[in-house]
């Protein structure tokens, strides 16, 4: 799987809080995943098991978005 990495730099003339493009998408997704109680604490001993619970949480989010469009 090939991943393209894009570094978004802050504008030099900006003061205070400025929304950076695409960064909010990542932060929003991590916040949604952080609401899952199982993922809130690092209880898993194996990376394989932690990845499985991350996938389950992602599937749950996708199903919720597909079944309850706002």
pTM: 0.55
Give residue-wise pLDDT tens across range 23-47. Answer: 777 788 888 887 887 776 666 677 7
Is residue 64 a contact partner of residue 57, using CB atoms and an 8 Å limit? no
What is residue 8's DSSP assignment?
A: P
39 belongs to a structural domain: yes
17 within some domain: no
The range of the structural domain enclosing residue 42 comes to 23-67
The total number of structural domains in the chain stands at 1
Q: Please give the Cα distance from 62 to 32 (Å, whole number).
A: 11
Neighbour count for residue 2 (Cβ, 10 Å): 3
Q: Does residue 7 form part of some domain? A: no
Q: pLDDT value at position 28?
A: 82
| Residue 12: inside a domain | no
Q: Is residue 6 in a domain?
A: no
Q: Is residue 11 part of a domain?
A: no
Rounded CA gap, 21 and 18, in Å? 10
């Amino acid at each position: 799987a090939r991943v393209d990495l894009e570094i978004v730099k802050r504008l030099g003339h900006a003061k205070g809080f400025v929304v950076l493009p695409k960064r909010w998408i990542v932060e929003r997704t991590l916040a949604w995943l952080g609401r899952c109680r199982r993922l809130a604490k690092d209880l898993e001993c194996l990376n394989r098991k932690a990845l499985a619970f991350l996938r389950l949480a992602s599937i749950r989010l996708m199903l919720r978005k597909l079944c309850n469009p706002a």
